[in-house]
């Protein structure tokens, strides 16, 4: 059984957090149990003669204990742990195999959201092995030129015209075909490969956008891992090498960038903003959506997550949330974009609520770079036809 918590490390406070966790674990265990620290913030617990449900209950109990807020040096600290459980002899007879499978179960519980415990199951091994394979392959994919960027249009609701395209990364895997970014981006973030890949996306997207009409911009997703002190320089380099005007570039970040709570990321964001580049907060409404993040940085735009527009939460509650988010954004001087607009009804609802921009399959899915100019003509002409029909 292994536990993972996420305290700051290499730091006196981090050490105290680890000591606290160790003490909490010991308090939950019997004298015959064995507990040891097996990595930076990982602990292993071994208990004999226990059933699987009891082992899982013990793991849940320890997660709850670790999750209880406590005080260190006047700071109230709260940490979340995850746990993976493996049983002997079913999952392995030697320690190495047992640890490996507990670790695989730990991965699965982290995937399910922190603060949970999972029992090892064989199906988890397949997911784990695929992920391990992707880890090594994603590192080589950039040099092997297996990546491609597609572009999805964003429409200004008032005029019906294309105002921007979002750059969406595609991986043409030689054996597995297209691998979804939802699967490989987290892997590339974990290994750090996203930094080089992300640089390439920024450069390539700016070069492409420089060939589009001057009133059409480009939005690029930037991961939290890319927030290094050199990021503003890289962005400035991509702009000057492509000749793209800075006002046509938009960077999309998620709350995770601000959640780290580091002043460094905030300073980097301000530097990017001072280049004249626009910055939007992506997937708003998922994650923590803490309003304090909106206070920490002056975003140009909020993108409402598609689960509120076309997802299963198409309920009256979701509509109330969307209405409030649009009002909130506007009162803070931000534009608001609705993601995942799939039907005319959804678009009309957004128009009535005063939403500024819309993106989704109703207009187009993402298209390869060489189809962008044609798509602009088609969508803009469609809106002109709509306007003249309204006049007639």
Compute how many residues bind ligand C2E; rule: CB under 6 A: 24
Minimum CB separation from ligand C2E for residue 230, in Å? 16
**Binding-site partner at residue 203 among Ca ion, ligand C2E, none, CB < 5 to 8 Å by type:** none
| Closest C-alpha to 266, from 227, 219, 222 | 227
Smaller CB distance to Ca ion: residue 44 or 251? 251
CB burial class (10 A; 0-12, 13-18, 19+) of residue 242? buried
Q: Which residue number is nearest to ligand C2E in terms of Cβ?
A: 360
109 binds ligand C2E (CB under 6 A): no
Q: Which range of residues in 119-127, 209-217, 218-226, 236-244 is near ligand C2E by CB under 6 A?
A: 218-226
SS3 205: helix
Smaller CB distance to Ca ion: residue 43 or 165? 165
169 binds ligand C2E (CB under 6 A): yes
Question: What dihedral do alpha carbons 190, 192, 195, 200 form, nearest 10°?
Answer: -90
| Closest C-alpha to 359, from 210, 170, 126, 168 | 168
Minimum CB separation from ligand C2E for residue 345, in Å? 13
Using the rule CB under 6 A, which residue among 84, 153, 198, 217 binds ligand C2E? 198
Give the pair of three-digit tokens for residue 254. Answer: 């998620």
Using the rule CB under 6 A, which residue among 2, 4, 116, 223 binds ligand C2E? 223
SS3 69: coil
- 255 half-sphere exposure, CB direction, 13 A CA radius: 18
360 binds ligand C2E (CB under 6 A): yes
Minimum CB separation from ligand C2E for residue 390, in Å? 25
Residue position matching structure tokens 């891992």: 225
Minimum CB separation from ligand C2E for residue 205, in Å? 8
**Pairwise CA distance, residues 164 & 363, whole Å:** 13
Using the rule CB under 6 A, which residue among 24, 168, 206, 257 binds ligand C2E? 168
Minimum CB separation from ligand C2E for residue 91, in Å? 33
DSSP 315: S
SS3 303: strand
SS3 342: coil
Minimum CB separation from Ca ion for residue 303, in Å? 5
**Pairwise CA distance, residues 334 & 381, whole Å:** 28
SS3 64: helix
- The alpha carbon of residue 192 and the mean position of all alpha carbons in its chain are separated, in whole angstroms, by 14
Q: Contact letters (x/-) for ligand C2E, 273-302, by CB under 6 A?
A: ---------xx-------------------
Binding positions for ligand C2E, 23-62, rule CB under 6 A:
none
Query: Under the rule (CB under 6 A), what is the footprint of ligand C2E?
Result: 152, 167-169, 180-182, 185, 198, 201, 221-223, 282-283, 306, 310, 340-342, 359-361, 366
């Amino acid at each position: 059984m292994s536990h993972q918590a996420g305290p700051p490390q290499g730091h006196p406070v981090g050490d105290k957090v680890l000591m606290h966790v160790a003490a909490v674990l010991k308090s939950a265990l019997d004298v015959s149990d064995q507990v040891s620290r097996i990595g930076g913030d990982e602990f292993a617990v071994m208990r004999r003669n226990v059933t699987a449900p009891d082992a899982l209950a013990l793991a849940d109990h320890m997660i709850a204990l670790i999750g209880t807020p406590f005080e260190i040096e006047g700071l109230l600290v709260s940490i979340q742990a995850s746990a993976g459980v493996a049983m002997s002899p079913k999952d392995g007879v030697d320690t190495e195999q047992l640890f490996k499978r507990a670790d695989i179960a730990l991965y699965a519980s982290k995937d399910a959201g922190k603060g949970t415990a999972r029992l090892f199951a064989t199906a988890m091994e397949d997911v784990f092995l695929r992920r391990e394979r992707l880890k090594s392959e994603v590192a080589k994919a950039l040099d092997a030129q297996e990546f491609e960027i597609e572009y999805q249009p964003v429409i200004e609701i008032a005029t019906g015209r294309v105002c921007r395209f979002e750059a969406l990364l595609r991986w043409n895997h030689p054996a597995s075909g297209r691998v979804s970014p939802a699967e490989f981006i987290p892997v590339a973030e974990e290994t750090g490969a996203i930094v080089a890949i992300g640089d390439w996306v920024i450069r390539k997207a700016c070069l492409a956008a420089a060939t589009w009409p001057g009133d059409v911009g480009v939005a690029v997703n930037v991961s939290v891992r890319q927030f290094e002190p050199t990021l503003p320089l890289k962005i400035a380099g991509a702009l000057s090498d492509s000749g793209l005007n800075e006002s046509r570039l938009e960077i999309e970040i998620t709350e995770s960038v601000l959640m780290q709570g580091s002043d460094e990321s905030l300073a980097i964001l301000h530097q990017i903003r001072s280049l004249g580049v626009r910055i939007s907060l992506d997937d708003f409404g998922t994650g923590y959506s803490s309003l304090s993040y909106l206070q920490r940085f002056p975003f140009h735009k909020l993108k409402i997550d598609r689960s509120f527009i076309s997802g299963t939460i198409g309920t009256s509650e979701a509509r109330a949330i969307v209405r409030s988010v649009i009002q909130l954004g506007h009162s803070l001087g931000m534009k608001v974009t609705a993601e995942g607009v799939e039907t005319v009804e959804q678009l009309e609802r957004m128009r009535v609520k005063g939403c500024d921009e819309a993106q989704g399959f109703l207009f187009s899915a993402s298209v390869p770079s060489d189809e962008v100019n044609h798509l602009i003509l088609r969508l803009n002409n469609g809106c002109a036809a709509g306007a003249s029909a309204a006049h007639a």
